[in-house]
């Protein structure tokens, strides 16, 4: 369904086609995108063995540099791999360590961790830091696997990234918001029941899927080399 078709479905469910001002498109869009995010959150919270909106991003390692910026669309970080040599089979999985558990001063030059057992930590919400730092510049030596955030719908030709059978979650959810706000109790239970059924099916469906594609990350300070 396109966004325009979602709007039409909302009007059909709520019987608002003849009175567009009763449910303005600005309100519909806000509620549709809110349910779009809810659907994404539900998928991610219930899936353990695959990535919804899965991406892997690669970056050149820069000598003596520890910090690299995340892609702008990252939602959840899943895995980090580092290649300190450039060899095809020299990838090592980095272990996540909360920064408060790192016992030694991060400003020290001496490395405690080794290239065979690297770690990563998150100095902020925008970047990743790795230890040990690379000794050399290595092309495409850092790879992260992550789940990207959805792109909100805005144009009437836009389509949600959910599988087609579950697009109606957005129109049903936005319709539920409308009937609750307007206290149309005779429609509320019917809409809620159909919505919950679709949400249950959504979880079952996506638990059997696996999606991976490719993106880019960049060194935090690469512009200042």
Domain ranges of the chain: 3-49+154-206, 54-148
Mean pLDDT by 10-residue block, N- to C-terminus, for the chain (225 residues)? 97 95 97 94 70 79 94 84 95 92 77 88 88 94 88 94 93 97 93 95 76 46 31
Decide if 32 contacts 159 (C-beta within 8 A).
no
Does residue 132 have a cis peptide bond before it, meaning omega lies within 30 degrees of 0?
A: yes
Burial of 115 (0-12, 13-18, 19+ CB in 10 A): middle
Q: How far apart are CA 41 and CA 61, in angstroms?
A: 32
**∠ CA 47-196-164, rounded to 5°:** 65
pTM of the model: 0.64
Give the number of other Cβ atoms within 10 Å of residue 80's Cβ: 21
43: phi then psi, degrees, rounded to nearest 5: -60, -50
| The pLDDT value given to residue 50 | 52
How many H helices and E strands in the chain?
A: 4, 10
Give the number of other Cβ atoms within 10 Å of residue 130's Cβ: 22
Decide if 120 contacts 59 (C-beta within 8 A).
no
**Which residue from 57, 61, 62, 98 is spatially nearest to 74, judged by alpha carbons?**
57
Task: Provide the pairing of β-strand 54-61 with 138-148.
Answer: antiparallel
| The pLDDT value given to residue 76 | 80
| The pLDDT value given to residue 106 | 77
| The pLDDT value given to residue 73 | 79
| The pLDDT value given to residue 215 | 47
CA distances, 91 to each of 83, 104, 202 (Å): 5, 25, 35
Longest CA–CA span in the chain (Å) reads 72
Give the number of other Cβ atoms within 10 Å of residue 57's Cβ: 21
């Amino acid at each position: 369904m396109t966004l325009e078709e979602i709007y039409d479905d909302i009007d059909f469910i709520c019987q608002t086609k003849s009175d567009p001002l009763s449910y303005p498109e600005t309100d519909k869009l806000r509620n549709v995108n809110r349910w779009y995010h809810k659907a994404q959150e539900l998928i991610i919270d219930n899936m353990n063995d695959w990535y919804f909106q899965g991406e892997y991003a690669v970056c050149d390692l820069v000598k003596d540099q520890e910090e690299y910026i995340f892609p702008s669309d990252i939602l959840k970080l899943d895995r980090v791999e580092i290649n300190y040599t450039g060899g095809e089979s020299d990838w090592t999985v980095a272990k996540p360590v909360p920064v408060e558990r790192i016992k030694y001063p991060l400003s020290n030059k001496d490395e405690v961790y080794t290239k065979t057992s690297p770690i990563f930590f998150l100095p902020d919400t925008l970047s990743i830091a790795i230890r040990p730092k690379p000794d050399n510049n290595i092309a495409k030596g850092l790879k992260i696997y992550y789940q990207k955030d959805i792109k909100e719908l805005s144009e009437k030709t836009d389509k949600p990234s959910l599988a087609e059978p579950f697009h109606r979650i957005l129109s049903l959810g936005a319709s539920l918001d409308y009937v609750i706000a307007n206290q149309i109790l005779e429609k509320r239970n019917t809409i809620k029941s159909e919505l919950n059924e679709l949400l249950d099916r959504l979880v079952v469906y996506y638990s059997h899927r696996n999606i991976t594609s490719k993106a880019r990350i960049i060194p935090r300070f690469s512009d200042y080399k």
